[in-house]
Structures are given as C-alpha cells and as structure tokens.
A = this chain, B = another copy of it.
Amino acid sequence: MMQFNVVKNDENSSARSGQLVLTHGIIETPVFMPVGTQATVKTLTAEDLYEIGISIILANTYHLYLRPGEDLIYKAGGLHSFMNWRNNILTDSGGFQVFSLSKLRKITDEGVYFNSHIDGSKHFLTPEKVMDIEQKLGADIAMCFDECAPYPCTYEEAQTAVNRTTSWARRCKDAHHRNDQALFGIIQGNVFPDLRHLSALDLVEMDFAGYAIGGLSVGESKEEMYNILDLTDSLLPHDKPRYLMGVGTPEDLLEGVRRGIDMFDCVLPTRLARHGTAYTRTGKITVRNAAFADDFTPIDKDCSCYVCRNYSRAYIRHLLKAGEILALRLLSYHNVYFLVKLMENIRRSITEDDFSGFYYSFMKEYRF
C-alpha cells in the first residue's frame, strides 16, 4: 500500500529527499501537488500534467462530496477513472473547506453541521462519513477529518479543536479499511506550540502512514509558521512523510523543505494564472502590464516549459486583454511547471549535498 524511504538527509538542515511509493506510482520527495479541487487541475488535462511531470495531485473531498457526489464517482470506478488520471491522488478531508467555505451551522464532538456553499443544502459530516466518502473516491492517500481553528483564535478554541481533531483521527483510523489507500493524520494547534506538541504526539502514537501539518498559512506571520514547523520537525518520526497543507509560495516551499517537509499542495500557481500572474526565476510578473505589450520574449527566459518554448509575453498579454481562455491555460501550465521544476531543483540540491547553496542562491535572486 505505501512505502516511504528517505534517500538523503541534508547535513545543514532538516531537508531530506526520498521516495514515496503508492498504488499509482513512485513520488520523488519533496514534492509539490497541484490542486484539482473539482476533479480537474483548472484548465489542464491529464496529459498536460504528465508532460509537466506531476506524480500526485490533490482533490477536494468537500467539493466532490457536494458535486457530483462520492457515489457517482464510485460508480465511475473511483476518482482516477472518473477524471482519467493514472498517477497518484491525495484527497483532503473536507475539514478546512467546511470551516472556510460553507456556512457553518454547528460543531459537536460527533461532527459538523453546515450548509453547502453551492445551493445552501444542509449536511452533516462525521469522521466516519468522511472516511466513507474518501474510500469511495479511492485516492491513494486519504486525510483524517480535522477541525481547523481560525486565525486568530483563543487558546481555548485552539485547544478544543486539537482535542476534537485527535478524537476524530482515532475514529477515522477505526473507520478506514482500504488497503490500497494510505491514511494521514493532521496536526492542529494553531500558533500555540504546546498545543501543536500535544497534537503531534497524540497522532504519532496512533501510528499513521504520514503526518500533515494543517491550519497554517491562514493569516499568521511567517515567523509563527516557521516556528511551528521547527517544532513539528523535532516531534515527527523520520521514517514517515510530512505534509504541509495549503502552502505553496516558492519561498515557503524552500522554508518548508528546510524544516523537514516532504509534501506540499497549493492552489496558488493556478489561481495566480487565472489572475494573469506568472512566476519567473526573479519573481512574479503581472503579464497584463503595458510593459509587456511588445515583449516577444517568453514568460521566463530560463524556463523550458511548453509555454515558454512557444509563446511570448506579448501574445499572452494580448490573450488576457482580449479575455481569451487560452491565456489562463498557458499561464496555469507555466506556473505549475515552475513549481515542479523548483522542487526538482531542490531534490537535486539535496542529493548533491548543496541544499543550502541552492536555498541561498534562489532566495537572493527571487524578488518577493
């Protein structure tokens, strides 16, 4: 079902490279997972993603549960078959979305009552129900149902969320039975070190296939986030994959890897693309800017992706100005490729004992 091997540990930081072996292939870590919220990485086909080199994508349980429903996807033969994707998939638990997207009605120890953000319909999700949904979706990695406290919140609120997350993790483990699907626990605790500590130890005791750090990048300072990552790095077992949820700026990927993170996901590359923004080696550019009207060079001169090999800034700017969908497609492709290449370079630097060198040279050149 799942195997994880650390191949190389960096000498100057907690960075490590490894291999995560899942039902649908081998994932070289650290890895960036593009987000396919509604069973599609927005604007891109499966073939685009293979071409970019994507070994795993994330899909959102909350969205797929509401539309088209887990039963339809099960009937299609599971999510891989439904969306025509032959590599790995991770489904989140829906926890974060229930708390951030839906109209929340009530949280009890039993589960969460909420109204759908699509049609207002009433729903009740429990750890058992979420496990049922995720097992029907049939991803290679499923996440435990968690309570994600907002930022900022009081210590007491964060504490309640941690306790519930721990109890729900236990119920998820009991309700989970698919042998071809790995189950990860999610560490909560907001920005409170002792709660993060407690959450991590409780989950590690339950012995999950992997551990995620949830509830970060939700408004807290970079320093607060990095402090929590330093802490979890010291608490989590070295032989299990660590996944930092919802994080994905180039700088945070580097900072996360440095603190022992193996997996990341983020909607940023595709969301930025849809707003006309592209990553380049020296920072983000707003392609719509007049400065690019007659710039016939590629989005990023150092990039060798399909888009940069074939299309110019001037052309993509024209498409954006003209409201053409192709612009969003080309920029999505490039932005996802950019992060995948960044991770590839990070992995190589770890293997070649030069992670620190890579880290500093990237940080020096990249304008935030």
Contact = CB atoms under 8 A, between A and B. Distances in A.
* Residue among A40, A310, A311, A329 with max Cβ neighbours from chain B (10 Å): A40
Nearest to A63: B322
Interface stretch (A6-14, A41-49, A189-197): A41-49
B315 A76 contact: yes
Contacts of A76: 294, 296, 312, 314-315
Contacts of A310: 45-47, 84
B84 A38 contact: no
Given A72-B293, A293-B68, A321-B68, A43 B314 contact: no
A171 interface: no
A218 B321 CA distance: 29
A63 to B, nearest CB: 8
B43 A321 contact: no
B325 A39 contact: no
A204 interface: no
B325 A329 contact: yes
Contacts of A83: 315
B38 A314 contact: no
Given A67-B318, A328-B325, A311 B38 contact: no
Given A40-B326, A43-B326, A312-B76, A321 B82 contact: no
Range, interface on chain A: 35 or more
A42 B328 CA distance: 12
Given A76-B294, A82-B315, 19 more contacts: A38-B322, A38-B324, A39-B315, A39-B318, A40-B324, A42-B326, A43-B325, A46-B310, A47-B310, A68-B293, A68-B321, A72-B293, A72-B294, A72-B314, A75-B296, A77-B296, A84-B310, A84-B315, A325-B328
A82 B38 contact: no
Contacts of A294: 72, 75-76
A201 interface: no
A63 B323 CA distance: 13
A236 interface: no
A40 B319 contact: yes
Contacts of A314: 68, 72, 76, 82
A324 B75 CA distance: 21
Contact of A325 (B84, B306, B318, B325): B325
Interface string A286-319: 0000000110100000000010001110110011
24 contacts: A38-B318, A38-B322, A39-B318, A40-B319, A42-B324, A42-B326, A45-B310, A45-B326, A45-B329, A45-B330, A47-B306, A63-B322, A67-B321, A68-B293, A68-B321, A72-B318, A75-B294, A76-B296, A76-B314, A77-B296, A82-B312, A83-B315, A84-B310, A325-B325
A158 to B, nearest CB: 33
